[in-house]
Structure 1
Amino acid sequence: MPCPHCQSSCVVKNGTYSLKDGSSVQHFLCKGCGKRFSDKTNTLMARLRTPASVVSLAFKMRGEGMGVRASGRVLDVSHSTLLRWEERMAGQASQWSPKAPDPCEVTLEHDELYTRVGENLPPQESEGWTLTTMERESRYWVTAQVGRREQALFEQGVRTSWQWAAPAAFIRWFSDGERRYAQELWALASIRLRYPQVARAYGHLKVWREGLEVAIKIKGSQGRPRRQWLYPDHPFTAVSSASEVHANHCEALNSSIRPHCSAYRRRQNHYAKTRAGLQRAITVQQLIHNWIRPHFSLGKRTTPAMRMGFISRPVTMLEFLTTRRYRAITS
């Protein structure tokens, strides 16, 4: 086993430590950097004496909508311990968030989801708004950003989504009536053309980058066109048909969040007491959705991460807990 710190293969055994179920874990000592490690180092199970099977079962229960206290009673574990495990998983999100592969075509749908955080404040004052972004074809959940429904939340959510999608050659960016997605994206993805690049008859010099299409579907259009393409497109970008401009799949994702995540359950919300707690809970659901739970519309035993091409087979919860990053998963 190579050292996870310096990748040296000059390692020797250096004692063991026991878990709560009586099993032991081998420690190693690296001759290169002098650090001790085990096969759990830099994973979610690092420094935990609880067996991985118990932690795996806890996340499965939480991923299917069981409350944190109910899960603790079933597993005979403190609810605060379960929350610390969730904080560990949410902290590993950067290791399991690869960017869109290049070259490829992605269609991003954007929508908002509301729940209560702390006191029962009016929606415009609540911090329980969640911005969700999903890739349409793969059902890959790109962004889950929590906060008050203000410009700063849209700015952060759009920046995260754009950093993920920017490597793709062709990007379609759709939402249902909310223009702030396009307004924030305009500052990140607009370019300025010169007249030798485009004819004067086109009439626009500042446009979206080539391959990027941004449109919204307005539900209450009141006789006006229901689909609108925001800001001028690049002259070499193909425009989608009007029937493809929608965020139906992202809305379906938001509907599925409520039964799967207890923090979003209507009239029974006892867990989203803080904004940080809600962000932790939704990040855990995002990781489970992308890497572990197969999606029925993608085929048998196919996860969104598989459809995006990041991995070639499903990842079990136990494997997710004991793997340092998605690149370490082999067929």
Structure 2
Amino acid sequence: MKKTPPLQCPYCCSSDTSVFKHYPTIHNGVRKLYICRNCERLFSETHNTAMNNIKTPISKVASALRLRSEGLGLRATGRVLRSNKSTIALWENRFADQKATLLLYGFCREFISLTFEGDKLYTIVGKRTMPSESEGWTAVIMERASRFIVDQRCGKKDTALFKSVIKTVCGYIDHTDDLSFLSDGERRYGNMLFELCSEVLQTGKRGRPPRVLPKGVRVRVKNKGDQKHKKGRKRPKYQAPQREHLDTAQDLKEFEIHANHLEAQNAAIRRKNSTFRRKTNTYAKTVKGLQRTLDVHQIIHNYVRPHWTTREVPAVTLGILAKPLSLEGILSMQRAA
């Protein structure tokens, strides 16, 4: 369990700070004014947080995020709370910016074993186009046992999209000795992981040494398609798309190679994220807006809301946190320097 870092000075990043005085606010009660003993500058407790310069009560901002995370659109949430949709979008942007800070919790812990599932889902952004040209593809990676969403990114279904989410997976490789990555047919997950994390294997034999995945890392892909009526050698049902380390244990059973947990999570995203619900002609206006809603959903799913199968918040199940975070607590959390 990693404790929340101490309140740091936003000017010199020093942790040698103390309360200077208290001051009243109109909607948020009494707040603290801090002084840095290193540079002797004053700053508020909301400085460098999502609530910086926001006069709205923090309870109302949290209520807007709860409504949005249950599938309400921007306009519907604005009608319920009597707020402008642009204001709610601003609150979501501030909240989504906390994603980078919260991801650091996972990179500060050592894991015994991790099993990741990779999949993708699709929605419409702007005008309807061919799926191959659409920017509404979302690549999602989830840790199986805890249902912790490692990352989810949207954009065109190309190499850059898959590389952006696999970079987050690479951050976990150095913190575990046993990592499995499973996918239902999308080979680019494994290919990107090999490209970013492969290492040279010194075998002592003549010739160029082969490149392999790091020790302890396994990748399995389910071969889709009908093989019954095709000529030639039949492909195996499950396949390792890239060469693995010789010392990696091959104890992954075939019935364990699936992405069923992530498929169920994708169904939940379609219910809880308004940009994936078929109630309008255009599901998402822009890629930036779609990514904002995905970041908000990921934060609430990982750190706030208990999962209905494990009865715990995914970050608690994974061991990153000892107890769940609240929306108000995340809104008051300092951003990473």
TM-score relative to the length of structure 2: 0.87
Counterpart position of 1:266: 278
Could you list the per-position Cα deviations for residues 181-234 of structure 1 after superposition, in whole angstroms to 9, with x for gaps in the alignment?
1111111222222234xx89xxx8332221011111123242443211222221
Counterpart position of 2:220: 215
1:281-320 correspondence runs (5 A): 281-299=293-311, 302-320=312-330
Asked if 1:256 is matched to 2:268, the reply is yes
- Stretches of structure 2 that go unaligned for 5 or more consecutive residues are 1-5, 229-233
Amino acid in structure 2 at the alignment position of 1:228: Q
Counterpart position of 1:238: 249
- Stretches of structure 1 that go unaligned for 5 or more consecutive residues are 327-331
Aligned-pair distance for 1:268? 2.4
Distance change (3 Å), C-alpha of 1:2 and 1:151? closer
Amino acid in structure 2 at the alignment position of 1:208: L
Query: Larger deviation: 127-136 or 182-191?
Result: 182-191
Any idea what SS the aligned residue of 1:162 has? helix
Amino acid in structure 2 at the alignment position of 1:16: Y
Asked if 1:37 is matched to 2:49, the reply is no
Could you list the per-position Cα deviations for residues 215-254 of structure 1 after superposition, in whole angstroms to 9, with x for gaps in the alignment?
1112324244321122222121112011111111111111
Distance change (3 Å), C-alpha of 1:280 and 1:205? same
Any idea what SS the aligned residue of 1:108 has? strand
1:135-150 correspondence runs (5 A): 135-150=143-158
Question: 1:189 pairs with 189, 193, 197, which one?
Answer: 197
Higher relative contact order (CA 8 A, sep 6+): 2
1:19-168 correspondence runs (5 A): 19=26, 21=27, 23-98=29-104, 99-100=106-107, 101-168=109-176
Give, in whole Å, the separation in 2 of the partners of 1:10 and 1:304.
34
Give, in whole Å, the separation in 2 of the partners of 1:65 and 1:105.
34
Aligned-pair distance for 1:10? 4.9
Amino acid in structure 1 at the alignment position of 2:330: F
Any idea what SS the aligned residue of 1:125 has? coil
Question: 1:280 pairs with 292, 309, 321, which one?
Answer: 292
The answer to whether the 8 Å contact 1:134/1:142 transfers is: yes
Counterpart position of 1:16: 23
Could you list the per-position Cα deviations for residues 149-207 of structure 1 after superposition, in whole angstroms to 9, with x for gaps in the alignment?
112212222222222444221110111111111111111222222234xx89xxx8332
Give, in whole Å, the separation in 1 of the partners of 2:180 and 2:243.
14
Any idea what SS the aligned residue of 1:127 has? coil
Query: Larger deviation: 217-226 or 229-238?
Result: 217-226
Give, in whole Å, the separation in 1 of the partners of 2:299 and 2:17.
31
The answer to whether the 8 Å contact 1:109/1:136 transfers is: yes
Counterpart position of 1:321: 331
Counterpart position of 1:329: none
The answer to whether the 8 Å contact 2:19/2:33 transfers is: no
The answer to whether the 8 Å contact 1:144/1:157 transfers is: yes
Could you list the per-position Cα deviations for residues 6-60 of structure 1 after superposition, in whole angstroms to 9, with x for gaps in the alignment?
22245522x73533x3845343444542433223222222221111111111111
Amino acid in structure 1 at the alignment position of 2:68: R
Question: 1:227 pairs with 238, 255, 268, which one?
Answer: 238
> Percent of pairs identical after alignment?
37
Count of aligned pairs: 318
Distance change (3 Å), C-alpha of 1:271 and 1:77? farther
